[in-house]
Structure 1
Amino acid sequence: MNRTRPHTSMAVAGLRVLLLDHGKQRSPIFRAELIRLRCQLLEVLDSVHGLPAAMLRSEPDLILIDSEHIDAELLSALAAAQASRHLPLLLFADGLGPDAMRSALQAGVNVVIVGGLQAQRLESVLQLTLARFEQDDQLRQELDRVNTQLADRKSIERAKGILMREQHLDEDTAYHRLRRLAMDRGEPLAAVAARLLEADQLLRKA
């Protein structure tokens, strides 16, 4: 069962952290600082291959990656992890160029810290990661909502076209008939339109 942690408070105490040590071998420093901040360090992974199983097993609130370099294997693992369960991602890496940083952000990383590790700054960086994740998640949800509305409008327009063609109706009459059908069935207009499109496709294949 997936755990859902409220990110609105940005408090790090109790934060469940999964640490991926991708070559830097600084996990003892992170472990000590996370304990001081009263976070829960669930696991320390030394390979990206164990990331999907660890996410299912530990159900973290945040994934912290400490990487010596950014490679295709790491980026692919992070993108796959985000596809399976959307989580805040914090990446520490040294010597990243603009292209590597852009690739990390495209893979779903919320915050990239370039350069040396300053343990005393970890709390503020964790808070920043949670805040950026919340902001990015809100934008993603808004984009999904807009895309859904656009798809619904296209379905309704196509369904109107079917009624106009099959029943020789004008556009307004076809829309009102579609809307009346939705009201009679107690269903959203887009759902009725989608079923009409499916029925029309089946009839064309018959």
Structure 2
Amino acid sequence: MKNAIVVVDDDPIIRMDIREMLEEEGYWVGGEAKNGQEAIELVAKLKPDLVIMDVKMPVMNGIKATQIIRRMQDTSVLLLTAYSQRELVEDARSAGVSAYLVKPVSDADLIPAVAIALSQKEKMDALKKDMNQLKQTLDERKIVEKAKGIVMKAYGLDEEETYRKMRSASMSTGIPLSKLAAGILEDGLDKHVGILQNR
């Protein structure tokens, strides 16, 4: 669901105008809501890339809804407001808003703001993916190091010989080194002696 956008405003005319501006630029509006509570439910269901949300609405305002949405998932929020008071800007920033626009909104204001908010989200998603891969690599390395210690002790080998033995066993069996190491830690060395011997 690439570049799915949710539009939230209690005024149906404003929602329609924003939808038309977005669709003319090739964006896909996945849904609309008329208050913050509906927005939260819609975001949980659609998991959009961006929410364009009014501040002043019945039931739940845009800032409160933004706080909840940002805790739920990494969706960018572009806030629409008729006001530009400093206090509101601070509240919006602490709620996790990507940007805000003062009404009335023209396509000359909206489209660049949408492009920037979506670009920020893509960068954050890429960074999060890189961080997760790095964490996985570090976790795997720790497992290999622990298993290597067990094999070194059992065979009386130095670190380099042990690593060579484990890597050779991994390559000949087609079992990734991290999985082989995890198996040694979980099942004990006895179950893996066969594939480690003569390596």
Q: Is the pair's TM-score, using the shorter chain for normalization, greater than 0.5? A: yes
**Counterpart secondary structure, 1:70:** helix
* Alpha-carbon contact 1:30-1:119 (below 8 Å) kept: no
Structure-2 change in CA distance of 1:58 and 1:74 (3 Å): closer
Alpha-carbon offset, residue 74 of structure 1: 4.1
Which residue, out of 91, 95, 98, partners 2:79? 91
Partner of 1:183: 171
Give the counterpart letter for 1:34 in structure 2. R
Q: Give percent identity, aligned residues only.
A: 24
After superposition, what is the alpha-carbon deviation per residue over 1:116-173, rounded to whole angstroms, capped at 9, x for unaligned?
4533311111111121112222222222222222112111111111212333332122
Structure 1 pair 66–199 and aligned structure 2 pair: CA distance change class (3 A):
farther
1:56 and 1:191 map into 2 onto residues whose CA distance is: 35
Are 1:119 and 2:111 matched, yes or no? Answer: no
- Runs of at least 4 residues of structure 1 off by over 6 A? none
- Residue 24 of structure 2 corresponds to residue 36 of structure 1: no
What residue identity is the alignment partner of 1:171? E
Match of 2:69 in 1: 77
User: What CA deviation, in whole Å up to 9, does each residue of 1:43-88 have, x standing for no partner?
Assistant: 32245444565346556453222223533x64133321x1xxx544
Higher helix share: 2
Deviations 1:16-37 (A, max 9, x none): 421234xxx3553242132134
Q: Which amino acid aligns with 1:158?
A: K
**Gap regions ≥5 residues in structure 1:** 6-14
| 1:163-202 alignment, distance < 5 Å | 163-200=151-188
Structure-2 separation of matches of 1:196 and 1:98: 53
Q: How far apart are residue 198 of structure 1 and its match?
A: 1.9
Q: CA deviation at 1:97?
A: 5.0
Q: 1:170 to 1:87 in 2, by over 3 A?
A: same
- Would the alpha carbon gap of residues 137 and 64 (structure 1) be closer, same or farther in structure 2, given more than 3 Å must change? same
Residue 12 of structure 1 corresponds to none
CA shift, 1:200, in A, is: 3.7
Q: How many residues align?
A: 177
Q: Does the 8 A contact of 2:53 with 2:80 survive in 1?
A: yes
TM-score of the aligned structures, taking structure 2 as reference length:
0.70
Question: What CA RMSD, in Å, does the superposition of the two structures yield over aligned residues?
Answer: 3.1
- Give me the whole-angstrom Cα distance separating, in 2, the residues matched to 1:59 and 1:140: 17
Unaligned segments of structure 2, at least 5 residues: 57-61, 192-199
Q: Secondary structure at the match of 1:198?
A: helix
Q: TM-score, normalised by structure 1?
A: 0.68
Change (3 A) 1:133 1:165: same
Larger radius of gyration between Structure 1 and Structure 2? 2
With 191-200 and 170-179 compared, the bigger mean Cα shift is at: 191-200
| Contact 1:27–1:44 (CA under 8 A) maintained in structure 2 | no
Contact 1:29 1:119 in 2 (8 A): no
CA distance in 2, matches of 1:52, 1:162: 51
What displacement does 1:179 show?
Answer: 0.8
Which structure has the higher relative contact order (CA within 8 Å, separation 6+)? Answer: 1
